[in-house]
Structure 1
Amino acid sequence: MLLRHTRTALLSLAIAGLLGTGVMADAQAQGRDRSERQSKQKQEVLYPNATREAPKAKSSSKMGSKLQKMIDTFNKDEFAEARTQADAILADGNANEADKALAAQIAAQSAYSTDDSAAAKAYLQQAIDFNGLDNNGHYQSMFMLAQLQLQDDQYNEGLATLDKYLTETKSTKPEDQVLKGQALYQMQRYPEAIAVLKPVIDATPDAKDSWVQLLMASYAENNQGAEATALAEKIAAKAPNDKKAQMNLAAMYMQADQMDKASAVLEKLRASGQLNEEKDYRQLYATYANMDGKEKEVIAVINDGLQKNILKPNAEVYTALAQSYYYSDQIPQAIEAWQKAAPLAKDGETYLNLAKVLYQEGKKPEAKQAAKSALEKGVKKPEDAKKIIAAP
C-alpha cells in the first residue's frame, strides 16, 4: 500500500476568547451615571469594614466655587475642560489635600473618558496619595487604578494595587475576588487563580457564567482536565441552547480525547441548525476523523457543509473527504475528491497521492499525468513520482 492515512486533529479550545471583556469591562462603567452614583454613595457606606480612617479634613471654602465649577463641567461631559480645571486646582497653593484629591479623581475620570489611560492612572495615584477623599472615593479610585493597570498588562502593579485594596477594605464582594482571579490567570499563576476563584463560585449561587468559564480555563491550563470538563458540563447544562457553551463543552471533550461525547454535542447543534460557520463543520468532521470507523460520518458532514455553502471547497476539505472515501472502500469517489483537492493544494503531495491511487487502480496514463503535476508543484520525495512516470 502506497498511501498512509493521516488524521487531522482540530482541537479548537475557544476559552481565552471568552475572557477578554468580562471582568475588565467593569472599568468602563466608572465614568458614567456620575450624579446618580455620587448621590447614592453619600447615603451608602460601600466599605463598612475598611481599616482606613477617613480623613476629617474637608474641601476648603476658598476652593469651593472652583471645585463646583469643575464638577459641573465634568457632569456636562466636557472632559477636556474639566481636566484643565482640575489641573488648575492641583497647582493652586490655596488647595488642601481634600481639594487636590477630589480634583485628581475628576481629572482621572476625565482622562479615562477621553481614552487617556496613562494619564488616568497617574491622576488616580495622586488621588490616593493625597489621602483626602472619603473611603468610598478613596477605595473606588484604588480599585479603578488596579483595573486600568491590569487592562494595560501591568500585572505586577495591578495585582499589588488590588491586594492593597482587598486588604484595606476587607471586601467580600465576589466581583473583587474574581478580578484578582483573572489577574492571576493572566499572569499564568493558575493554581493561585483556582484557589481564589473556586471558593467564590462555590459560595455564589448566581455566579456569572464568565466567572465559571474563567475557572474552567484555569483548570484547563493547570492540566486539571477532569475539573475543567465538569465545569464545561455545568455551563452547558444551564444553557442548552447557547451555542458557545455547547461548543466549549465539545472542545473540552476533544481535549480529553472523549470524541464520542464531543461528536454527540456537535451533532445536536447541527440538527438544530446552529452549526452555521465553517469552523463548526471543520470541528465536527475533525472529531469524526479522530475516531476509528467513522469515515461515513466524515463524508456526510463534509458533503452537508459543502451543499449548504458553509464549508469552503478547498484542498483541506476535499483531502479529508478523499481519505474518508478511500478508507471506506469508495475508490471512485475518493479519486474524484482528490482530483478536486490537488489543483487547490499548496504543493504536489496531493497530486502524488492521487497518482498512487490511480496507478493502483490500473489507470496508468492518468497516474503518470498526476505524477508529472506532482513534480511541477513540488513534493518531498520526487523519486516516488518519477517511479510512476517511468513505470511500464
Structure 2
Amino acid sequence: MSIRSYTRILCSIFVAFALIAGNAYAKKDEKEAPLYPNATRKDPKNDLSSSGTQKDLSKALDLLNDNKADEAAPLLQKIIDDPKAGKYAHALATQGQGQIAYDKQDNAGAVKAWRAAYDMDALPNNQQFTLLLNIANLQQQEEKYQDSLSTLDEYFKATNGGKAEAYALQGNDYYRMDKYQQAIDAITKAQSLTDKPNDNWNQILMASYAGLDQYDKAGEILEKQLAKNPGDAKVVEQAVKVYVNGHRYDKAEALIDKNKGSLNNDTLYTLYRAIGAGYSQEKDGDTKAIEAFAKASPLAKTGEVDYYRGSLLLQNDRAKEATGVLQQAITKGGLKETGKAYLMLGDAYNQIDDVAHAREAWTKAKGYPESQKSADQRLNLGGHVKMTTQQQKKKN
C-alpha cells in the first residue's frame, strides 16, 4: 500500500522536475529494494503495534489514494495526537499531511510537514531521504534556490551519493543562480548516474553553456538530440538560435538547409532573416547576408527582407541586382519606410546610368516624409547624379 504518486509537475524555465514519492507504508511481508544502498543509516524498527492505529493509518492512506483528502485529514490528525501511536505512525501521518498540503498547492505547509516527518527519524530510508529530495524540489519551485541547495547537501551527505534526479535538481538550482559551471558539473554528474538520462536535463546543460558563451558546446548538445529525433522542428529552431547568439551563422545556416523539410515557411523565413541580419553585422559578411536574405525572400509575406537585401547589394556595388530586388520589395509592400526604398531604387538606377528611372523613383520618394528631403536634393542636382558607394551609405 502506498501514498499515491505525486502528479503535479514542478516547472522551471527549461525543465520540469516531478516529485519523487517513495512507498508511504509497506506491509510486513513486503520488502522494498533500497533506493539508497550507500546510506549508513539503518532502517529504523517499525514500532507500529496498535491494531487500531494500524487500521486508522491504512484507512487514511487508502483515502489519500482515492483523492479523499478531507476524509483522510482527521484520521491522520487522530494518529498524530495519539502519544501511544509510535514514532513510525506519527511520521507517516505527518508525511500524509504534507501530501494534503502539497495537493492544495500549499508548498510552505508541505515543506513544514515533510521536514517534521523527516526530523522524527522514524521512516525507512527510501521514504526518509526522498522526503529531503521533495523538500528541495518545492524550495526550488518557490525560488528559494540556496535553501534548496542546502537541503540537497543534507541529502547527499545522508545518502552518501544520492540519485541522479538529485544532481539534476542541484544543477537547476545553480543555473537559476547564474552559477553555470557548477550547473554543468551537476547535470553531467546526473547523466553519469543513469543509463537513461532525462533528455530535459540537456536543457539546463545547454543553457549553462550558453551562459558561459560556449555556444558551440550548447549547439552540440542540441544536435545530439536531433540525431536521436531527426526532423524535430523545435530542436532545430533552438539550435539555430543558439548558434546565431554565438555568431556561428555558418553552422546555423547549414542546420536550416539540412532540415528544411521539417520546418514550416514562417519558421524558415524567420531563421534565414536572423542569419542574414547577423551576417550583415560582421566584417566582410555582406555577401553571406545577401545570400541568406535571398533564401528568406520567397518565404516572405512583406518586402522587408528584400529591402535589406537591396540595400546591401547597392552598398556593395551591385546596383543592377539591387534595382530588381528593391522593386520587388516595393511591390510586395508592408515596408516600414517605403520612401527610403524608392530613394534607394533611384540611387541604384542612377549607378547604372539609367537617369530616367532614377528620377522617377526619386520623385516617388518625395511623397514620403522620411525621404522627402533626400529626394529633393537628388532631383535638384539635375541629370545624372554621380555617387560613390561611401556617399550612398552616408545619404541613407
Q: TM-score under structure 1 normalisation?
A: 0.75
Task: Give the distance between the partners of 2:245 and 2:110, measured in 1 at CA.
Answer: 42
Structure 1 residues 335, 320: closer, same or farther in 2, change over 3 A? closer
Q: State the partner residue of 1:294.
A: 288
Deviation at 1:233, TM superposition (A): 4.2
Cα RMSD of the aligned pairs, angstroms, is: 3.5
- Give the gaps of 5 or more residues in structure 1: 1-17, 307-312
Moved over 6 A (4+): 389-392
Amino acid at match of 2:365: A
Aligned residues: 354
Q: State the partner residue of 2:299.
A: 305
Q: TM-score under structure 2 normalisation?
A: 0.75
Task: Return the match for 1:69 from 50, 59, 65.
Answer: 59
- Give the gaps of 5 or more residues in structure 2: 1-10, 280-284, 350-354, 383-396
Amino acid at match of 1:287: I
Amino acid at match of 1:133: L
1:278 correspondence with 2:271: no
* Alignment check: 8 A CA contact 2:240 2:252 kept: yes
Deviation at 1:170, TM superposition (A): 1.4
Q: Which has the higher contact order (CA 8 A, sep 6+)?
A: 1
Task: Give the distance between the partners of 1:135 and 1:65, measured in 2 at CA.
Answer: 23
Structure 1 residues 56, 325: closer, same or farther in 2, change over 3 A? same
Deviation at 1:390, TM superposition (A): 6.7
Task: Give the distance between the partners of 1:195 and 1:187, measured in 2 at CA.
Answer: 14
Task: Return the match for 1:163 from 153, 161, 165.
Answer: 153
Q: State the partner residue of 2:368.
A: 373
* Alignment check: 8 A CA contact 1:315 1:342 kept: yes
Q: State the partner residue of 2:37.
A: 48
Structure 1 residues 19, 351: closer, same or farther in 2, change over 3 A? farther
1:26 correspondence with 2:18: yes
Structure 1 residues 263, 226: closer, same or farther in 2, change over 3 A? closer
The percentage of counterpart residues that share the same residue type is 28
* Alignment check: 8 A CA contact 2:293 2:306 kept: no
Which residues in structure 2 correspond to 1:71-86 (within 5 Å)?
71-86=61-76
Deviation at 1:208, TM superposition (A): 3.6
Task: Give the distance between the partners of 1:107 and 1:184, measured in 2 at CA.
Answer: 30
Q: State the partner residue of 2:259.
A: 269
Which residues in structure 2 correspond to 1:103-114 (within 5 Å)?
103-114=93-104
SS in structure 2 at match of 1:223? coil
Structure ID, larger Rg: 2
Deviation at 1:190, TM superposition (A): 1.1
Amino acid at match of 2:33: E
Task: Give the distance between the partners of 1:134 and 1:203, measured in 2 at CA.
Answer: 23
Deviation at 1:50, TM superposition (A): 1.8
Amino acid at match of 2:111: K
* Alignment check: 8 A CA contact 1:359 1:388 kept: no
Structure 1 residues 356, 336: closer, same or farther in 2, change over 3 A? closer
Deviation at 1:320, TM superposition (A): 3.4
Task: Return the match for 2:112 from 116, 119, 122.
Answer: 122
Deviation at 1:164, TM superposition (A): 0.7
Deviation at 1:155, TM superposition (A): 0.6
Structure 1 residues 137, 202: closer, same or farther in 2, change over 3 A? closer
Task: Give the distance between the partners of 2:94 and 2:169, measured in 1 at CA.
Answer: 24
Task: Return the match for 1:355 from 339, 343, 346.
Answer: 343
